[in-house]
Structure 1
Amino acid sequence: MSLNPLINEKKHKKHYICDLPDPVLALIISSLPTKEAVRTSLLSKRWRHLWKDISKIDLKEGGYEEIQLFRELVSKLLVVCDCWNLTKFSFSCNVRENANKVNEWLCGFINPGIEELIIDLKMIEKPLVFPHHLFTFARLTKFHLNMDQILNLPSSILLPSLRSLSLKNIIFPDSSSAHRLFSGCPSLEELTLVYRNWMNVKAITISSPLLQKAVIRDWKYDDDDDDNNDDEDDYQSHEEDEEDDDIDGQNGSKCCEIVVDGANLKSFSYGGFPGNDYSLISTNALIEATIDIESPYYCFEFDHWELYQDAGYFVSSLLEKLSCVERLGITETTFMVLSTEESLLWNLPVFSNLVEFRIFFDYPIELSYQPLLEILKKTPCLQVISFGSGVCMPIDRANMDPLPLCFKTHLKTIKIRDCRGLQKELHGIKILLQSAAVLKKLHVRCRLYTFDSYSRTKVEVNTKEVFEKIAKFPQASVDCDMEFV
């Protein structure tokens, strides 16, 4: 009998996932959402207990009708799972009156082998307690904590492997505890701070030799991108509401001086409305930066106009520290606060390394807008400029005056988003094409719909017609390649 048929049969034998060893199956199950991982126990007798060895647990409370089911699931997992096997734990819920139960859950799931820990807790009515040994975990590399409550820290903190730290809304008991936390993270590379206030901290220096990215959001009304339950998310006690009514969100004063020292800092982003004093030192390695000043509702009142002026001085000082960046993004309100004092625009630093400038507006920006021209005058080597919501120019204006030097010598790429095809927008694009002497590429993206202010209805944009008009502009087909998307 020939062995060839047996060999061929062996070669073409099908392999199934059930043929894999248990440790491999447990690893695969760990990659599933936690609820789906638990459901694998229904597949067969062999699979009944495999999910109990998962290394990742992600628990997020759903709507109000799911609260009881969520609590039962968490309690069951805590009993049957091998929590010492966890390397990633993510937990999000509204605590309400269940502080004791949440404390029990956190102490049960958090173990020294955790590498990634993500905790989002809201609607806290009683104090929460984290296990003190959490702040000495040798393997923890990523830690995110969102909790509108005082965080009591141990006297000794050392997180030698922590590379990414994100703190949102927590309140430090005092300056020394904040200092202990930041100084206890020698390997920190990414830092995100989202704060309503630093009420108990007068001054703090955040210094890490490996820090490469810093994101600061200094704004007390911060909404989670992936949370839609406004009634629950905005929960606060009566005393907290009184604090929120305070203009600066800092009990009426800028109570904290925060210094970020990072010799290897490459990316910096600031968002919100200035409520504290921030300083950057050792910024020569910076590559990109974004400043997103957001306007609080009360600043629209004339009585609070001085707050815009203060924000203007804040932005001016920040730009001085960011003068070495290669890529810079600025928003509409950031431009506005800079224009509150003429001296702020006159004293802008020269951005000699800047090659890409991103402008974020909610509407087409006029090319004759003085703050824009003043900044462009200080960017001699600019190669790429991006307009986030289109450009425009009054029909009676025939050019950019004065024309920034970079338009004559370096500007090679112009990107325009949300073009609606209005006459003043097309005129703005025409002026750009005529002004950029060494332009190589023009990217234009049309908005599908525009708003008709007369009929109060949405009007579909004729994209083809818009592109045909742009293509006929002088220099459009001669000096640059156009890309319409």
Structure 2
Amino acid sequence: MEANSVIHKPKRQKLNEKQGIEGQSKCFGNLPDVVLRHILSFLPIKDAVRTSVLSKRWEFLWTSNPNLNFGEAVPGMRRMLMYFVERVLYLRGSSDIKEFLLDFDVECDASLVKSWITAAVRRNVQTLSLCLWDLRRHFSLPPCVFSCKTLRSFFLDMPSILKIPSRICFSNLEILSITGVTFLDGNTTQQLFSGLPALEVLYLENCRWGCRKVLSISAPKLHSLTIIEAHMQDPSDCQFKILGATLKCFLYTGEFFNEYCFYDSFSLERADFDVVCCGKWASNERARQVAYRMFKVLLSIPNVKDLRLYGIGYEVLAYAPELLPKMPIFNNLWYLKLGTLNLECAALLKILQNSPCLETLKFFEIDPISNCEKVDLILDPATSCFLSHLTRIKFCRYDGKDFNAVKILLKKAIALDEIVISFEKSVEKNLEMQENLLKQLIKLPKGSENCEITLK
């Protein structure tokens, strides 16, 4: 009996495996076409096409895949990609397209690329993502793009002049992202940025605004605005008026080539500024211009709750010290995040003094303090947030070299409940060094008896 069971057990196991596979295959094959098409919609279009070899039934199921992602062609395979795009669009007939993504070097095939985009628009595309490069001749998008009523998300990365038709109807567009584009026609550009009734998210990166001096951004549902203008050659000088009645978040990176001012920004909750200086500015006049523009945008967002200043976001104000007495009062600011903490910077001290309800202060690096007594005197009497609201300080990437700033903060922040310190990588791996630092931190005098020091 034992020998018999040993002989037959492997056979019975193989039979069960075979039955399981057949059962699963049969079950999968019994699914309705609409379910199989839904499953295929999660596959990249190239993989979906490969399923056509499975059986006669699967041969054309992929053609109704609503998501078409045509990525950058492998070197030497450009013509094959073009043929593939043409075949996919032809075989799918008139069925709707949900997402159409095209990353393509246009070269001399502008008319063909336009026909693909037009085909997507005519099939009620909802998400259109175009990354077009190597534009050897003048290229303009098909006018139908700007009157597509089904379009909800539009991503355009195109180092070229954007020709905007006189008729624009983005009635359902919720997300708009534009990168590398040059706007020349001032009237149509203004029409574009004031004719977006459903827009919620706007992203502008390294765009040029031609000779236009003033541009208004007005979208009644806009809640997130990101503007990046870094490493630009021949940047424009434009004044942006942002009507932000519903705006919640504003993120900026750059050198303030343009000027920004908010109107009706009562709903703004978060503002990020990463002010960069690519090399030394040509003159103090340029530095003062950046300082004035930084100050002007801060002046227009006094109700912000979450403020993040990176790069030289506040230090640049030192180039225009006459502005500091006019710094706004940030009555709603409860969270302040800094790239670098410089307690000797008058602009930062002014921001702290004008933020009476600040609860959390976070920073990544500390500038060494050269004159502790001077800083101590400046903060005496301590700012109102240090006396009543500042309960948490988070210090990231601490290298353990400078205790002065930490010492001053512990002494002045008498409402402090916790200071959280995480170390940079060189200290993270040295447990003995961490223990010594903790011992030194514990010995520092504290203005708050309830303050706990947490190391991460």
Query: Shorter-chain TM-score category?
Result: 0.7 to 0.9
Query: Which one of the candidate residues 337, 345, 357 is aligned to 1:381?
Result: 357
Tell me: CA distance 1:31–1:464, structure 2 relative to 1, closer, same or farther (3 Å).
farther
| 1:358 counterpart residue number | 337
Partner residue of 1:390 out of 365, 372, 393 = 365
- Paired position in structure 2 for 1:80: 91
Using the TM superposition, give the Cα deviation of residue 287 of structure 1 relative to its aligned residue in structure 2, in angstroms.
0.9
Q: Work out the CA distance in 1 between the residues paired with 2:352 and 2:160.
A: 44
C-alpha separation in 1, matches of 2:452 and 2:74 = 51
Deviations 1:340-376 (A, max 9, x none): 1211223211111100001024xxx343333322221
> Which residue pairs with 2:132 in the alignment?
121
In structure 1, the partner of 2:408 is: 431
Matches within 5 A, 1:70-469: 70-82=81-93, 84-219=95-230, 221=232, 244=233, 246=234, 249-250=235-236, 254=237, 256-297=238-279, 300=280, 303-361=282-340, 365-387=341-363, 389-391=364-366, 393-394=368-369, 397=372, 400=376, 401-402=378-379, 403-422=382-401, 424=402, 426-449=403-426, 461-463=429-431, 465-466=433-434, 469=437
1:466 alignment partner AA: Q
CA distance in 2, matches of 1:440, 1:42: 65
TM-score (norm 1): 0.80
1:318 shift after superposition: 0.6
CA contact (8 A) 1:197 1:220 kept: no
Separation in structure 2 between the aligned mates of residue 336 and residue 463 of structure 1, nearest angstrom = 35
CA distance in 1, matches of 2:121, 2:146: 11
Evaluate the alpha carbon distance shift between residue 394 and residue 70 of structure 1 in structure 2; reply closer, same or farther with a 3 A threshold.
Answer: same
Paired AA for residue 277 in structure 1: E
**CA drift at 1:55:** 0.6
Q: Distance in 2 between matches of 1:470 and 1:140?
A: 56
SS at match of 2:355: coil
After TM superposition, give the deviation of residue 97 of structure 1 in Å.
Answer: 3.0
Do 1:156 and 1:180's aligned partners in 2 also have CA atoms closer than 8 Å? no
1:291-340 alpha-carbon deviations (Å, 9 max, x no partner): 2222134xx15x43321110000001110001110010112322232111
Give TM-score scaled by structure 2 length.
0.85
Q: Distance in 2 between matches of 1:161 and 1:119?
A: 19
Match of 2:16 in 1: none
Paired amino acid for 1:74: V
AA of the residue aligned to 1:420 = D
Tell me the amino acid that sits aligned with residue 479 of structure 1. N
Q: What is aligned with 1:479?
A: 450
Worse-matched range after superposition: 95-104 or 347-356: 95-104
**Equivalent AA in structure 1 for residue 293 of structure 2:** F
Q: 1:20-39, aligned counterparts within 5 Å?
A: 20-39=31-50
Aligned position for 2:5: none
Letter in 2 for 1:383: E
The DSSP-based 3-state class of the residue aligned with 1:339 is: helix
Q: Shift in Å at residue 268 of structure 1? A: 1.5
Cα drift, residue 474 of structure 1: 4.2
CA RMSD of aligned residues (A): 2.6
Q: Does 1:48 align with 2:87?
A: no
Instruction: Please state how far the C-alpha of 1:130 moved relative to its aligned partner.
Output: 2.4
- Describe the shift of the 1:321–1:168 C-alpha distance in structure 2 as closer, same or farther (beyond 3 A): same
| Gap change, CA 1:366 and 1:171, over 3 Å in 2 | closer
CA distance in 1, matches of 2:429, 2:345: 26
Distance 2:88 2:242 in 1: 41
Structure 1: stretches of 5+ with no match in the other structure: 1-12, 222-243, 451-459
Contact map agreement 1:83 1:108 (CA 8 A) in 2: no
Q: 1:468 to 1:38 in 2, by over 3 A?
A: farther
Aligned residues with identical type, % of pairs: 27
Q: CA deviation at 1:482?
A: 4.5
1:395 positional shift: 8.1
For residues 227-260 of structure 1, what are the alpha-carbon distances to aligned partners after superposition, in whole Å with 9 as ceiling and x for unaligned? xxxxxxxxxxxxxxxxx3x4xx23xxx2x33211
CA contact (8 A) 1:112 1:137 kept: no
**Relative to structure 1, is the Cα distance of residues 43 and 437 closer, same or farther in structure 2, using a 3 angstrom cutoff?**
farther
CA distance in 1, matches of 2:79, 2:53: 22
